[in-house]
Amino acid sequence: MQKVSFEVSGYHSDPEAGSSDPMSGDQLPPIYKKPTTKNSGFTTENSQRTRTPSPYVDLTLDIHDDRVSVQSLKSEGGSSVEESPELTLLKRNRLEKKTTVVKRLASVSHELKRLTSVSGGMRKPPRGPAKLDRTKSAATQALKGLKFISKTDGGAGWSAVEKRFNEITATTGGLLLRTKFGECIGMTSKDFALELFDALARRRNITGEVIDGDQLKEFWEQINDQSFDSRLKTFFDMVDKDADGRLTEDEVREIISLSASANNLSTIQKRADEYAALIMEELDPDNIGYIMLESLETLLLQAATQSVITSTGERKNLSHMMSQRLKPTFNRNPFKRWYRGFRFFVLDNWQRCWVIALWFIVMAILFTYKFMQYKHSPVYPVMGSCVCMAKGAAETLKLNMALILLPVCRNTITWLRNKTRLGRVVPFDDNLNFHKVIAVGIIIGVTMHAGAHLACDFPRLLAASPEAYRPLRKFFGDEQPKSYWHFVNSVEGITGVVIILLMAIAFTLATPWFRRGRLNLPGPLMILASFNAFWYTHHLFIIVYVLLVAHGYFLYLTKDWHNKTTWMYLIAPVILYACERLIRAFRSSIKAVTIRKVMVYPGNVLALHFSRPQNFKYKSGQYMFVNCAAVSPFEWHPFSITSAPQDDYLSCHIRVLGDWTRALKGVFSEVCKPPPAGQSGLLRADMMHGANNPDFPKVLIDGPYGAPAQDYKKYEVVLLVGLGIGATPMISIVKDIVNNLKANEQAQLNRMENGTSAPQQGNKKESFRTRRAYFYWVTREQGSFDWFKNIMNEVAERDSNRAIEMHNYCTSVYEEGDARSALIHMLQSLNHAKNGVDIVSGTRVMSHFAKPNWRNVYKRIAMDHPNTKVGVFYCGAPALTKELRHLALDFTHKTSTRFSFHKENF
């Protein structure tokens, strides 16, 4: 017995009207026919809502051989509410009239059997793969999709919707305007919400611009219906605006534009005509001019199939076991919990720990030494322990003012990192963090030193009796000071006050709020919240050091020159730093560069390609400083090198964020040629810098300098994560990995031709160990992918062994499974299968939607590479650093895979 449900419309009961017989001849009527009302005629599962009567009749028949029996006969427009006698009589007449049709169907049951195997009436079965089985894993994932309310929309259920409805309709008499529908249900995409409102209203034959609370609840129940069929039909209704059960190319084009607009995909929106034709070509191979619901469903499930990586049972079991192992365990013993946490902390941070511990020990020794020295001095009976604290803090200040210069001596640090083995025990990657720690130590030392003098030493000295002051005449003069002005109006006082003021300015403007321009200051004070303000005020340290030497020479309590040790602390670091700056100026003037190409990409990114100076050797992941005299002759700004060491040019990509980068873009925009027609956003710089173009801005470079990412060659497996413009060092690394793998393959072929199977033993170990790389690039703008489109296509083409796995994530697109991105996902799968190009990134690399699940990323790498040390390299904003570091430590502690985390923030 086979059960079939179908709809019959437009039949006549007159047996002599042969021309109207739907079964006469070879012609079959289409299943979908435009109704007389705006109702599309779809039935939502588990729904018992009030409907407008429809001319369709839903027949449920049992087909067995040539016998047909009516099992149920009902009007699709049936209502669960009380109806008027006229409406009931009308329905009864319609049913009696169409019963005759059922009797005639018995003679043509073999046609019905053929109908059950055909989708879409007159349509032939679509070419290509058959309709996917919903029991498959990919289809199961697709059935969870087509959500109309995502997590980012903030919908908290009907109670929250009802509360917003009451607030919005407080002044409209309980009626919700169409324009407020998206706000009420918590949908941030306004245009998409309007189309959803229209689709739901058409289903219920609502023609007005307002709905009441009961109608809103019906809308909400349908939106949140857990049935995939119901959601699919709702989505279909949004596209099918004329409610004829068919989708034309114009309707498909309109929903593509709507979906692209909701996801901020301007490129797709501009090419909506092309992509609409692509969908029609795939789903309408017979060119009949429309597509049906079943075809749309097949396309959706096929897209889900391509996005799911099937796994074996063994892999699934391993994944489940790892998930259980990664669950946090609670130890009731507080001592064991503390010991476990402390042990992991030391194992993960032992390099930082011993450096900070050594620094604390040295500070404590200096403070104690000076404290004990002044405890036995002649001034102790009068000034007490206050002078001991002031002098002890001053001694730590001398050393900290010397140490704070070392972390910014970049040439020295790069040399120590590359030429020595100190990198194994010294965390050179934390040089700027150590610089900040020392700055905090200086603030504490200045506070203790100045506070002890002003709040304790000087008051006790002013209040001392003449007899007590007599032993202090050789330090402060024969006449005892009578007020604070005596101390302020001296070299020690003036230099001390100026030093404190300059330090306060430099430290304040170095905080992230000022340096990154996060403060909205009034009027002319806004100039203080900029990188330029930070850069210039930070160089006040030159004046501070001069005043510090003077302050340390004209001392009240120390008269012998060999006991005035301030200059002794400072002389070596100051000379080293001065040499660093001279080397920078000398090297940048010798290594002249010419500009080969300048491009401005979407997302305000300026790409500069330079000629490569002779003997300019660098490693992927390193950075260089750039100076443009047309913007500022003094400012040097660091940027990651995006070209590979094997390239014959240098390149860097500069994100326009601050005042300096904005001015740099303006300078090049004035000089470069305007973009040719059809190439928006591209500034050509084919003319060379120098004699050929004297107006071109002069650019100097200095470097290269060491960075955390340059150590990727030490790991067999690397995870590269770039956030926005933070992808710049990772691009160079990806290119370098491909080049090295190709070079190793060629070397192996050469050895085989020469009859040797192993590489020649040398004095040095093989420096390149990387065999597998995972690259994750997360950006919120589709235009950002234009920055490295050519490079990513080149890598995808040259990486024949698939050693590099690249993942692009566009966070402006709603997560996969959301109704607003469903059609984008379908288009993506179609276009990539046909043309090999991703419609979001414009590259051969398929893009993902929303943000990555970083725990799953780590989990997959840990499963695929057990007992392996994985290098994790992150470059981007500090927001993601904590999560990536925490996951690296968590998986390191609980799996056999060891994750070593390195970060570079900007």
- Where helices occur in 480-528 by DSSP H, the ranges are 485-488, 491-509, 512-515
Strand ranges inside 178-314, DSSP E: 210-211
**Range with the lowest mean pLDDT among 32-41, 61-70, 529-538, 655-664?**
32-41
Q: Name the one residue in this structure whose structure tokens are 């040097």.
A: 636
| Strand order from edge to edge, sheet including 847-849 | 847-849, 804-810, 772-779, 717-723, 869-876, 898-905
SS3 category, 102: helix
pLDDT at 22: 38
Q: Is the pLDDT of residue 570 over 70?
A: yes
DSSP string over 143-166: HT--BSS-GGGT---HHHHHHHHH
SS3 category, 769: coil
Distance CA 752, CA 222 (A): 67
Q: Is the pTM of this model over 0.85?
A: no
The pair phi, psi for residue 654, each rounded to 5°, is -115, 120
595 membership: H or E segment, kind and range: strand 595-601
pLDDT at 152: 53
Q: Is the pLDDT of residue 524 over 50?
A: yes
Closest residue by Cα to residue 461 from 379, 539, 580: 379
pLDDT at 460: 84
Closest residue by Cα to residue 730 from 885, 904, 879, 899: 904
Mean pLDDT calculated for residue range 197-224: 85
Mean pLDDT calculated for residue range 620-628: 87
pLDDT tens digit string along 770-826?
A: 888 899 989 888 878 888 888 888 888 887 778 888 888 888 887 776 777 777 877
Distance CA 746, CA 743 (A): 5
pLDDT at 442: 94
Amino acid at 553: Y
pLDDT tens digit string along 449-459?
A: 988 888 888 88
Closest residue by Cα to residue 592 from 701, 688, 704, 705: 701
The pair phi, psi for residue 473, each rounded to 5°, is -60, -35
Q: Which two tokens stand for residue 35?
A: 């109704």
Say which residue, 695 or 496, is predicted with more confidence. Answer: 496
Mean pLDDT calculated for residue range 230-256: 79
Contact between 449 and 397 under an 8 Å Cβ cutoff? The reply is yes
Distance CA 397, CA 363 (A): 9
Contact between 515 and 531 under an 8 Å Cβ cutoff? The reply is yes
Distance CA 434, CA 844 (A): 42
pLDDT at 774: 92
Q: Which two tokens stand for residue 869?
A: 């040390």
SS3 category, 774: strand
Q: Is the pLDDT of residue 527 over 70?
A: yes
418 membership: H or E segment, kind and range: helix 410-419
Contact between 267 and 786 under an 8 Å Cβ cutoff? The reply is no
How far apart, in Å, are the Cα atoms of 883 and each of 41, 582, 858?
49, 40, 11
Mean pLDDT calculated for residue range 45-74: 40
Of 119-133, 240-254, 381-395, 731-745, which has the strongest mean pLDDT? Answer: 381-395
Closest residue by Cα to residue 461 from 479, 443, 446: 479
Distance CA 278, CA 697 (A): 46
Q: Name the one residue in this structure whose structure tokens are 């793998």.
A: 741
pLDDT at 827: 80
Say which residue, 791 or 672, is predicted with more confidence. Answer: 791
Q: How confident is the model at residue 400 (pLDDT cuts 50, 70, 90)?
A: very high
Half-sphere exposure of residue 803: CA atoms within 13 angstroms, side-chain side = 23
Q: Is the pLDDT of residue 628 over 50?
A: yes
Strand ranges inside 78-187, DSSP E: 176-177
Is 540 buried (19+), middle (13-18) or exposed (0-12) by CB count in 10 A?
middle
- Residue 700: beta bridge partners? 627
What Rg, from alpha-carbon coordinates, does the chain have?
A: 38
Q: Is the pLDDT of residue 870 over 60?
A: yes
Q: Name the one residue in this structure whose structure tokens are 């970049």.
A: 410
**Range with the lowest mean pLDDT among 176-180, 233-237, 623-627, 892-896?**
233-237
pLDDT at 500: 92
Q: Name the one residue in this structure whose structure tokens are 């913007």.
A: 631
Write the DSSP symbol of residue 247.
B
Helix then strand count (H, E) for the chain reads 33, 17
Of 55-64, 83-92, 366-375, 735-744, which has the strongest mean pLDDT? Answer: 366-375
pLDDT tens digit string along 263-295?
A: 778 888 888 888 888 888 877 777 888 777 777
Residues 555, 558, 561, 563: what is their CA dihedral angle, to the nearest 10 degrees? -120
Q: Please state whether the peptide bond connecting residue 704 to the residue before it is cis, i.e. omega within 30 degrees of 0.
A: yes
pLDDT at 404: 93
pLDDT at 441: 94
Closest residue by Cα to residue 745 from 801, 806, 784: 801
Q: Is the pLDDT of residue 754 over 50?
A: yes
Of 7-21, 127-141, 178-192, 756-770, which has the strongest mean pLDDT? Answer: 178-192
Residues 183, 188, 193, 196: what is their CA dihedral angle, to the nearest 10 degrees? -120
Cα angle at 151 between 145 and 154, to 5 degrees?
A: 135
pLDDT at 24: 39
- Residue 624: beta bridge partners? 639
Q: Name the one residue in this structure whose structure tokens are 């603030």.
A: 443
pLDDT at 833: 79
Q: Name the one residue in this structure whose structure tokens are 């501009």.
A: 270
